[in-house]
Amino acid sequence: MILSDFDLLNYIRERRLVIRPFKKDTLRENGVDLHLGDTIARLRPSSRILDTRGTPGIEGFYSVEKAKAFTIQPNEKVLVSTLEHVEIPSDLMGFVELRSTFARCGILLPPTILDGGFKGNITIEILGSAFPVRLYSGDRFAHVVFAKLTSPLGRPYDGKYQGQQGIALPRFDLASQPK
């Protein structure tokens, strides 16, 4: 069941769903709009292999920039984050979507799921258009549709991205990898 604006406002008022900062004008008919943060991580072209089972120096595959505006080059892949910190209760989950205005500019956003129990800023991958597009920190950029789970989670999210601030680069749990 997807939550309506009425249900979402009750979740937020009762602090079961936390969105900081929250602006009432971002509450939509069936979700909440979130703003683009002020940091971008551009994926750097490289012939070096990023081994998901043991590449040291993951930061070398990204160029992290902080600014009030960013130009996404044609077909460029970047990571961005939301300005907002969210805390999802264990009886909800969220689908992060690109606002349609940005989709109409040719920008793509792969599926991003928010698990019940997640807390932090949301890191989002975006794929550039056929032409350069300038984005501005603070713009309403993403839309989250919240769905009620049939029952609260027995194991709410407590993974490696819990509490992330700004952009979180990939983190590989090498201890749990098969040898």
Which are the catalytic amino acids?
125
Helix (H, G, I), strand (E, B) or coil at 5: helix
* Residues paired with 128 in a beta bridge: none
Interatomic CA distance for residues 27 and 4, integer angstroms: 10
List, as one string, the DSSP characters of 161-174.
TTTB-S-------G
The one-letter code for the residue type at 101 is T
The pair of structure tokens assigned to 103 is 């989709």
Q: How far apart are the C-alpha atoms of 70 and 56, rounded to whole Å? A: 28
| Alpha-carbon span 69 to 47, nearest angstrom | 29
What is the C-alpha end-to-end distance of the chain, expressed in Å? Answer: 42
